[in-house]
Structures are given as C-alpha cells and as structure tokens.
A and B are shown apart, each in its own frame.
Chain A
Amino acid sequence: MAVGASQLTNYSKRFAQIAALLIFLILTGCSIIPPVLSDYGPSPSPLELVDTPFYSQQEFQCGPAALMTVLTASGVETTLADVSRQVYLPARQGSLQSEMLAASRAAERVPYVLVPTLSSITGELATGRPVLVLLNLGVSWLPRWHYAVVVGADADREQIILRSGTDERRVMDASVFLRTWRRSDFWAVSLLRPGELPANPDRSRYIEAVAGLEQTGHPQAARDAWQAGLSIWPDNAVLIFGLANAQYALGNLSAAELLYLDMLRGDAASLIARNNLAMTLVAQGRNRDALEQIDSALELADGSPLLEELLDTQRIILSAVNGASN
C-alpha cells in the first residue's frame, strides 16, 4: 500500500509539473513580451468604420458571418444563408481560407491578401474598407481558428475594434489581437471592387489576386482590375498580358491584339504573347497573319515548356486555313 501511494505521489508530481507548464503556456500564449501597436508600424489617429454592418454568427459560422460583413461593406447584395452555402463546411464546422477567397471571386470582388503588417490593415481602414482577418484564439497546439472583421484601430488606447462572432463591437487589446493574428501568419484580406486599388499596393499580391479572377471565369472584373493596376504600374508586362487576356475573353479582339503587340514591342521573344496574338488573329479570320506569328514563335521554342501549347495553336490555325480553302 505504502509503495503504491508513493508511486502515485511521484506520478502526481510529474503530472503537476506538466500541468503547470501547460497552464503557463496557455496564459502566455507561448510569447513572453507583449507586442504593441507601434511595433507594427506607424498607426494613424483613432479610426473606426462605425457604419460597417454586423451579422451575428450562428454556431460555428464565424466564416460566413465575417465574409457577409465585408461583402456587404463592399456593396455586394447577398444573404447570410447564401454566403454560408458557399463557405461553410459542415463536417469541419468551419470555413477554409481558400473558400473565403473563392466566394469573394464569385461576388466579383478582388480578394487582396494584405502584406502582413498592421499598417496595411489601418491603410485599408483609412480608405473605408474593413478587413477580414483570421485569428487563432487558442494556441498552436490547441488552435481555435476564428474569422473576424477589423473595423477600427486606436493606437492611443492600444485597441483594435472588431465585428466578431456574436459581438457587434468587440474591443480587443492590441497585444491580444497581434498575438492571435500572428498565429494565423497574419492572414488578412481586403475585398476590392474591380477598379479599386489597395491602400498600400504590393504588385505581386495584386497580380495574384486578379489572375485568380481571370482563372475562375470573371473576365469583366479582371479587366477592370488589370486596368487599375496599369494606372500605377504602366509598363508591367504581366499586367498588359492580363488585360489582353481579359479583352480576348470578353471578345474584344482588336483591343487584345493591340495589347499583345504592345507586349511584344517590350520583349519580341515572348512566346506567351506571340501565341495568344496568333490565337487572337485566327479568331478574327486572319489566318495567314496568325500562321506567320505562330511560326516565328515556334522558331524560338526549342526546349520550351510551352512547346506543346504552341503546336496546339499551330494545329488550330492550320485547320482554320484548310477550312477556309475548302
């Protein structure tokens, strides 16, 4: 009996040590020094988008509620039930980040993933756009993922104001916000109307967001967004290519042709521009011009990963030539 009791005590001691460590980790959130707002870049004077709508979440449905908030703030007319149908995953009782972006595209909005700094959030707030964020309210080994919408920041009081879950105006200490946001790798998204630019635009993030719209079949939104991008990066070949592709998809073939030619003036060896130019020409019935373009592309295509694609284009043009001569 005595031996058994002492073994139990040893076991309990070890358990106590582990439990104490766990509680320490929970309380500290695995970080010792609390971050402050000023560590994350200069913050403007207190700012709150008080008109941002609020949709209280139903059980586990913070994703749909938060997305509904930013969609409505961006002028999209929809319902919580419809948003839920697009992003809620019943068996996971939650919503995936990529599906939150996908549903924004479905609503013809550009889901721009912000540069992970607090100033990029406050920049969006200053232009009147609330920001969708993913937080981990738990800790890394016991995560509690939560979507919320940042609607305000107050650097003097070190506070962040959110539409969150069932709280219409959740005031969070900046240090808590920054810790919980950091655990999601600072995931934050602003929904841009096509044609709007982010407050602090990052070119590659912007291109990725707009290319996603093009890829998922929203050429009109993509066109407006590429045009906005070209207003600040006028000579960028990717943006010109993107706009040309959007014009092609919309059937504006002569506009597309001019843009591909523009791109080829910058880089005569661009296979993607020449391939798409050839496709644009054949779509206009200008088969000989098209053949000329694709042949000059094929001369440069030795060992290119695009070779198969170029040969496909050549076949399409040749069959158009044969069809016309019959």
Chain B
Amino acid sequence: MIINHPLLGPRDSQEFTYLGDASLIERPDWQAADAVDQFYDYLYLRDNPAGLHRELWYHEQGDRSWLVVTRNTLTHDITSVELARDVAKAKGRST
C-alpha cells in the first residue's frame, strides 16, 4: 500500500504506523459541564463504516508528521491525505 504524503509524495506504508479513527483529534474540553459524557463518547464510541473512513496515520519512519488519511475500508483505496495539523488548524484548534 502506498500513502501519498502531502509534503513528500508517495511513500511505502511500512514507513507509517496506524493510530485509529480521526475523531481522536477532537478531544473534548475537560472543563465542560458534561465532560464525563463527552469523554465517554470520545473514548468508546466509534463508527465502523464499510466504505470511506477517516483515520490517523503517523509517519514514524519518515518526517514524523501525523496524517489524516481517508481510506475505503472495502477496497483500501486512499482518496485523500492531509496533515493532521492542517485539519486541526482549519477547525481553529491550534495556532
């Protein structure tokens, strides 16, 4: 499998490690009134789609960037790869 790194171009998947669902970026505010419920959802509830899935990959044996990869779980076809920090910045999460 080849992952098309947004900065470095196509790279072999053995350079990467997989973390999980991209929703892990959306860590809830621990000071919110319903923080307990939010963290329950954040930690335990996942969709398990047969089809497009957004997930976090780490370019461990490379430039050490986190990527948000959109992969079709039926075909392993990768349709989009973004830097996780760009995704977070676009949501106003990081400066």
Q: Do A and B come from one complex?
A: no
Q: Which residues of B contact A (CB under 8 A)?
A: none
